[in-house]
């Protein structure tokens, strides 16, 4: 199992640390050649890795760098082909089909409407503990929000996984997991384990 972490901007190292704790091999995606499958790979569709993480950071910067580095199209194709992908915060923004307060659309593969910086300045950053469907019904999963987006609407077939203050903060659609907070900033490894299970086809 090998998971690629987009490492052009933002909080990618923390994701690598959690995956390492889980015994998963990671590598940093920095340039287009990192998207080529290693020789002798026996992954489906000759994929370069088994899963992809799009970390938090600044979605406008990440979107621009993906274009400048010529990685946008190949990544889009991998996601469309069913590669498991996990977007946190800015990564969720990159996946969203629509942004309600921003004219940009990036990959647009996750059928949700997302509002950027949804909690305003006062509540820019906060912490909560809540249930997460598929992990636990108890309000024990730590959720750190940093100038977070939220999911305003979900399309058909999207499974809502977590809510905070009546708002959707985690959702899954087929091979795509989108989360508005930063699970990589806490010690808890359960959300990453959930994604690793997706990569294993569970």
Q: Which residues are catalytic?
A: 89, 182, 184
Residues 72, 29 contacting (CB under 8 angstroms)? no
Residue 154, phi-psi category: left (phi > 0), alpha (psi -120 to 50), beta (remainder): beta
Between the alpha carbon of residue 71 and those of residues 46, 47, 68, 99, 105, the distances in Å are 17, 15, 8, 22, 16
Instruction: Please report the DSSP string for 70-115 in residue order.
Output: T-HHHHHHHHHTT--EEEETHHHHHHEEEETT-S--SS--EEEEEE
CB of 140 to ligand GLN, least distance (A): 22
CB of 88 to ligand GLN, least distance (A): 7
* Contact footprint for ligand GLN (CB under 6 A): 56-59, 89-90, 93, 116-117, 146-147
CB of 184 to ligand GLN, least distance (A): 11
Closest to ligand GLN by CB, 119 or 173 = 119
Q: Give the H or E element holding residue 59.
A: helix 59-68
CB of 181 to ligand GLN, least distance (A): 8
Closest to ligand GLN by CB, 118 or 199 = 118
Closest to ligand GLN by CB, 54 or 161 = 54
Q: Alpha-carbon dihedral of residues 75, 81, 84, 88, nearest 10 degrees?
A: 40
> What's the token pair of residue 50?
């088994």
End-to-end CA distance of the chain: 14
Residue 43 is given by DSSP the state S
Closest to ligand GLN by CB, 77 or 127 = 127
């Amino acid at each position: 199992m090998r998971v690629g972490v987009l490492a052009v901007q933002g909080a990618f190292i923390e994701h690598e640390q959690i995956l390492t704790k889980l015994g998963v091999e990671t590598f940093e995606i920095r340039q287009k050649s990192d998207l080529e499958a290693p020789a002798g790979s026996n992954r489906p569709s000759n994929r370069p890795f088994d899963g992809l993480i799009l970390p938090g950071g600044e979605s406008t910067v990440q979107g621009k760098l993906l274009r400048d580095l010529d990685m946008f199209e190949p990544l889009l194709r991998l996601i469309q082909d069913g590669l498991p992908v996990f977007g946190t915060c800015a990564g969720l923004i990159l996946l969203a089909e629509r942004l309600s307060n921003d004219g940009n659309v990036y990959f647009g593969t996750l059928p949700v409407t997302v509002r950027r910086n949804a909690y305003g300045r006062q509540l820019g950053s906060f912490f909560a503990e809540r249930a997460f469907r598929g992990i636990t019904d108890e309000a024990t999963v730590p959720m750190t929000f940093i100038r977070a987006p939220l999911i305003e609407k979900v399309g058909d077939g999207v499974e809502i996984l977590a809510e905070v203050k009546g708002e959707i903060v985690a959702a899954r659609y087929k091979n795509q997991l989108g989360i508005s907070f930063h699970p990589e900033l806490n010690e808890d490894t359960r959300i990453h384990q959930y994604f690793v299970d997706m990569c294993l086809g569970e």
